[in-house]
Amino acid sequence: MQGQIIYKDGEIKEVYGYKAFHNGLLGYNDFKFEVGKKYTCDDILAKHKGFHFCLRLEDTLRYFLYEENIEICLVKGTVNIQKFDDEYFGYYELFVCDNLEILKKISREDIIEYYKHLKISKYNEYRFCRFVRNYPLIETEKKELQLDKRKIKFIY
C-alpha cells in the first residue's frame, strides 16, 4: 500500500497516503476524526502546524510503535503540502498539510493481504520488515505472512 503524489506545474497539489490513529480514529489531543470528512488546521490545533501522514502504510507505524489498537486510514492531503524525510531513521516521503480528508479505513485483513502479496525485491523486503517489526500481529497473521519460513533482517 503506497500512496500517490499529484503534481501540477512542478508543485505538489495533493497526496494520497496513510495516517494511523488511536482506536476510535483518535488523533492528537484525542481529537476524533471521521471517515468521509475533511479537516483544516483551523478545525483543531494540529500539532506542528499541520496534519502529518505518510506515503507508505508501514511508515505510519513509526508513530504508534507496538500499540495494539491502532487504525489506519487512506487520506488525501491538500493545501500547503510539505514533504520531509528523516534520513537518520530511514523514513522518506513523510508529509504535512493544512487540509486532510479521511477517505477510508483500511481493514486488518486488507493490510495483511497486501503485505502477504508484496512482491519480493530488496526495497520491498525492507518495507516488509518495517511492517512486521512494528505492526501488532496475531499468530494467525504471522502464519499467513509465512514469518516462520522467512529470514527477516530487522533493519532500523
Mean pLDDT by 10 residues, the chain (156 residues): 91 96 90 95 63 93 82 96 80 89 97 87 82 90 83 55
Q: State whether 43 and 119 are in the same domain.
A: no
Helix, strand or coil, per DSSP, at residue 56? strand
Q: State whether 94 and 70 are in the same domain.
A: yes
Residue ranges making up the domain that contains 125: 109-144
Q: State whether 91 and 120 are in the same domain.
A: no
Answer whether residue 36 is part of any domain: yes
What would the DSSP string read from start to end of 56-71? Answer: BHHHHGGGGTT-SSEE
CB neighbour list of residue 150: distance below 8 Å, 6 or more residues apart: none
Which triple of cell numbers denotes residue 36?
468521509
pLDDT at 49: 75
The count of domains in the chain is 2
Q: State whether 42 and 98 are in the same domain.
A: yes
pLDDT at 156: 43
pLDDT at 59: 92
pLDDT at 70: 93
Helix, strand or coil, per DSSP, at residue 99? strand
Answer whether residue 70 is part of any domain: yes
Query: Cα(38)–Cα(142) distance, rounded to whole angstroms?
Result: 35
First to last CA, the chain: 20
